[in-house]
Amino acid sequence: MQRSTKDVILSRRQIEALIAEGQSIIIVNQKVLRVDAWIPYHPGGQKVIQHVVGKDATDEFTIFHCEETRQMSERYQIGRIEGRWANFVPPIQGGVFRSDDEEDDESTILAKEQQDTSSTGLEAAAVDSGIHKRGSQPEPTEDMATQDEMAFLDTETKEEIKLTLCKYPALDDATQDEIIAKYRLLHKQIHAEGLYKCNYTAYAWEFARCSLLFSIMLFFLHIGWYNTSALFLAWFWSQMVFAAHDAGHIGITQNFTIDSLIGMTIAAPIGGLSLGWWKRSHNVHHIVTNAPEHDPDNQHLPFLAVNHRFLGNIFSTYHERLLAYDKFAKALVPYQAYLYYIILLFGRFNLYVQSWLFLAKGQGPRKGPAKWHRWYEICGNVIFWLWFGYGILYKSIPTPLSRISFVLISHMATMPLHVQFTVSHFAMSTTDLGPNESFAQKMLRTTMDVDCPPWLDWVHGGLQFQAIHHLYPRVPRHNLRRAQALVMEFCRDVGIPYALYGFVGGNRKVLGGLAEVARQAAILEKCRRTVVERGEFVWGL
């Protein structure tokens, strides 16, 4: 009997050649998938797929997608692999690939050996430097990095890597394979305990609470207590965001269309935002968590630099531009620990901008089951500005000063929500430990949980269980506390530290990390001034 083409065994060299030709190849459950045809339909955007090209993405694919999608993926199968798959570094991250007819010259082999066995993260920095040097060499300026500055940043990176490797399990195949196997067993246990089943009674209480907040907002608006009304609107928006987050991860009904409709309705006509933009950004965040070059949730220059690598002008693969550590950043970053909460007061305004840019550029899917999402969200945003901009601000509030006050309070009072978003990641590792690190270890290394009593869960909205959520993003939020106990047992078993801090302790850790980067920025600035005074400028690498 002739073997199906889907069952043909493909060698590592053959798969490498396909990727060199520009094809998007991923490995899922020993199956080789060519997903180029799926990318235009993918609701989470193309970049999340680009970050798993050349990798065994079994765990990532399994936890993000429902059973229907996992079965659908088989149509993209072009072959199989045998044995353990050693991950490539994806092209978007600087991976080097050889085509069929390319000679295995010494420089290419050396480059591949460095990227495939990387456990330092320095290779990624070198790739970024190469990207930075595209085009003509610029004229020397005081903003460009000197060799002394680059040496300082490399030393800091090496020290960070050394400390990280001491805390976490080894990156050898045997250790990581054991972690992967036990992580998948834990996934089966979570399924067996019914933790993927949604607690709709809990959502009934969520709906009642949000309805009460909105009603109180309208009451105070009616009697002219505009600032108090704005405060309750902020709390209403914050509570609704939690449900939109659940829906965005298909964690309410487990049905893509229904959950998307729930999430988009909350985001657009109720909140004036775009769930599609959030998915595009947030899914990348879940795959490359805390990676300075790749994770958009870490890239806040010129206002914040959450890691010393941002002080060296890195290239963002998400925004596809240089994140320059320019004069504006140099003025703000030294004081970022003091400005952190002030900057987050304006977080909601930034969400408007990002949402509008996403919808205006049509960056979401234009084919398949999500092609109508853009137009639904555009209409939803029109509805939002009709009820909020016209109905409340213009018709219900009499004076310009009161309108400005209402906008500022209703938007800035959502600041605790933005603190909740950032506290679970800003203080955690940003080190690149190479392609051999398991998904489970990477998520637990880059994410922390916030400890709180069960009666406060509604305040945090499930975001206090970020480590658990990153391991199993489709588990409904009301089941995360039970899942936490299972994950803690898993961590003890495999030797991965589980980061758990109180809300105050977590904030202190974040502020400490920001202060440390500010200290490093001060050292760099002193170095730069010394070089300029000596007149010994050297072009940055």
Contact assessment for residue 239 and residue 213, using Cβ atoms and an 8 Å cutoff? yes
> Which of 436-454 are b and which e, b meaning 16 or more Cβ less than 10 Å from the residue's Cβ?
bbbbbbbbbbbbbbbeeee
Rg (CA), the chain: 24
- Contacts of residue 529, defined as CB under 8 A and 6 or more positions apart, other chains included, come to none
Q: What is the pLDDT of residue 538?
A: 47
pLDDT in tens, the chain (541 residues): 445 677 888 999 999 999 999 999 999 999 999 999 888 888 888 899 999 999 999 999 988 887 777 777 788 888 999 989 999 999 999 999 988 776 665 555 545 555 554 444 444 333 333 333 333 334 444 444 566 666 767 777 788 888 888 899 999 999 999 999 999 999 999 999 999 999 899 999 999 999 999 999 999 999 999 999 999 999 999 999 999 999 999 889 888 889 999 999 999 999 999 999 999 999 999 999 999 999 999 999 899 999 888 988 889 999 999 998 889 999 999 999 999 999 999 999 999 999 999 999 988 888 888 889 999 999 999 999 999 999 999 999 999 999 999 999 999 999 998 998 899 999 898 888 889 999 999 999 999 999 989 888 888 888 899 999 999 999 999 999 999 999 999 999 999 999 999 989 999 999 999 999 999 888 887 777 776 666 654 444 3
Q: Is the pTM of this model over 0.85?
A: yes
**Which tokens go with 364?**
């979401």
Gap between the Cα atoms of 470 and 286, Å rounded: 7
Q: Sketch the domain layout of the chain as residue ranges.
A: 5-96, 178-501
- Dihedral sign of CA atoms 77, 81, 87, 93 in order: negative
Q: Of 402, 382, 384, which is closest to residue 393 (Cα–Cα)?
A: 402
The one-letter amino acid code at 386 reads: L
Write down the pLDDT at residue 262.
95
Which of the 8 DSSP states describes residue 391? I
d(CA 426, CA 512): 10
29-51 burial string, b = 16+ CB within 10 Å, else e?
Answer: eebbbbbeebbeebbbbbbbbbb
Q: Shortest CA distance to 449 belongs to which of 463, 429, 433?
A: 463
Kindly give the pairing relationship between strand 31-34 and strand 77-80. antiparallel
DSSP 199: -
Q: How far apart are CA 489 and CA 146, in angstroms?
A: 47
pLDDT of residue 260: 92
For residue 523, the model assigns a pLDDT of 83
Q: Which of 106, 73, 90 is nearest to 6 (CA)?
A: 73
Burial class (CB in 10 A: 0-12, 13-18, 19+), 398: exposed
pLDDT confidence of residue 533? 65
Q: Which CATH architecture has domain 5-96?
A: Roll (3.10)
CA geometry: angle at 489 spanning 486 and 490, to 5°?
85
Contact between 284 and 45 (Cβ < 8 Å): yes
- Give the pLDDT of residue 369: 83
Q: What is the pLDDT of residues 179-209, one digit of tens each?
A: 999 999 999 999 999 999 998 999 999 999 9
